[in-house]
Amino acid sequence: MILAGDIGGTNTRLAVFSNGAGPKHPLVRETFPSSDYAGLEGIVKQFLSGRDLTITSACFGAAGPVKDGRATITNLPWIIEEKILSLELGLEKVRLLNDLEAIASSIPHLGADDIETINHGEPVHNGTMALIAPGTGLGEAFLTWDGNRYVAHSSEGGHANFAPANQLEADLLQYLGRHYRHVSCERICSGIGIPNIYNFLRETGRFHVPAWLAEEIAGAEDPSPVIFRYALAPEKKSAICVAVLEIFISALGTEAGNLALKVLADGGVYLGGGIPPKIRESLRQGGFMQAFGNKGRLSISLLPMPVHIITQPDAALLGAACRELSLYPS
């Protein structure tokens, strides 16, 4: 049996898998709030406590850069090291992956019930595939065919400079430039970016904010779910929340198109992370694909690219399990 984990800025998900049951059927699974713990060791020990499980090795997808067996978690004050974890947990081997590399590793194993297609396109057999994943932060990765199977590659593309595609986004960039030394795509296209868009629209006087909404957002630990709720709720929509969602989707579409061009993702583009499944209907309404394909002379290269939403909530766990169960190249 092996232990797999998805370590995010908001939640840490752990599960135990076996070769017999396979990567889609965890024997045990549990979710923990990441910020309640000082590090991963404490979560794993609590997870395994009282369970009669013989774990030989572990693989964790971590939300941050991984180098030489050491991961720095982007939105948590955690540093994780393979050797220390192995000693602390008494395991023969511990492997750390960037969380987007873990999600990307799941893509070749996803079935029709794990995705929702928003652009069917014309996929190239064994073509390169791209992954963009807005959650707490914004992650990006891609997969290439090595002649035998797909190999996942991590990146930190979500931290590249945000590039506005219209005047409103240019104004947003200028506004955020007064608050941050570096305005990355993640400052807009992620859970931590949603309040930035809201504050921009509010503080620049583009929308009136009703008192009830201002009060609810002020009292929320995380305002993003509140903003999404009143952007999507048919019975009580808020104009400013609708505008936030429209800007978010357009900016995400633009960045997804940028990534698709950079890696020439003729095998398909996948939207991962926690946000896309929650706004899937909005993503299908046209604004995303319009921004995705708005690449001037190269627009014709993007139109045949399939675009899918990953609806499998445990994609990172699945990918980490595949890597450790030898269903994926080392």
Domain assignment present for 128: yes
Q: Using CA atoms, how far apart are residues 241 and 247, in angstroms rounded to an integer?
A: 10
Same domain, yes or no: 256 and 167: yes
Check whether 281 has a pLDDT greater than 90. Answer: yes
Same domain, yes or no: 122 and 82: no
Domain assignment present for 329: no
Q: Using CA atoms, how far apart are residues 239 and 200, in angstroms rounded to an integer?
A: 14
Degrees (nearest 5) of the Cα angle 38, 276, 125?
Answer: 110
Letter string b/e over residues 251-262, b meaning 16 or more CB atoms within 10 A of that residue's CB: bbbbbbbbbbee
The pLDDT of 57-77, averaged and rounded, is 89
Domain assignment present for 330: no
Confidence of residue 136 (pLDDT cuts 50, 70, 90): confident
Considering the entire predicted model, what is its pTM?
Answer: 0.90
Same domain, yes or no: 162 and 303: yes
Q: Cβ contacts of residue 116 below 8 Å, gap of 6+?
A: 277, 280, 308, 309, 311
Confidence of residue 174 (pLDDT cuts 50, 70, 90): very high
| pLDDT at residue number 327 | 57
Same domain, yes or no: 273 and 158: yes
Same domain, yes or no: 128 and 44: no
Domain assignment present for 242: yes
Q: Which residue has the higher pLDDT, 75 or 306?
A: 306
| pLDDT at residue number 329 | 45
Number of domains, the chain: 2
Neighbour tally for 330: CB within 10 Å: 7
Confidence of residue 330 (pLDDT cuts 50, 70, 90): very low
Same domain, yes or no: 19 and 88: yes
Same domain, yes or no: 155 and 34: no
The single residue listed with the structure tokens 């774990």 is: 55
CATH number for 224: 3.40.367.20
CATH number for 84: 3.30.420.40
Same domain, yes or no: 169 and 94: no
* Residues 63 and 9: beta-carbon distance below 8 Å: yes
| CA proximity to 173, closest of 289, 254, 100 | 254
pLDDT digits (tens, 9 = 90+) for 215-250: 999 999 999 999 999 999 888 899 999 999 999 999
The pLDDT of 313-330, averaged and rounded, is 81
Confidence of residue 65 (pLDDT cuts 50, 70, 90): confident
Boundaries of domain holding 88:
2-105+316-324
Check whether 328 has a pLDDT greater than 70. Answer: no
Same domain, yes or no: 95 and 185: no
Enter the tokens of residue 72: 């720095």
Q: Cβ contacts of residue 216 below 8 Å, gap of 6+?
A: 226
The pLDDT of 36-54, averaged and rounded, is 93
The pLDDT of 271-290, averaged and rounded, is 95
* Residues 307 and 269: beta-carbon distance below 8 Å: yes
Same domain, yes or no: 156 and 289: yes
Confidence of residue 293 (pLDDT cuts 50, 70, 90): very high
Same domain, yes or no: 159 and 69: no
Same domain, yes or no: 97 and 129: no
Tell me if residue 149 falls in helix, strand or coil: coil
The pLDDT of 57-80, averaged and rounded, is 90
Domain assignment present for 208: yes
Domain assignment present for 131: yes
Domain assignment present for 200: yes
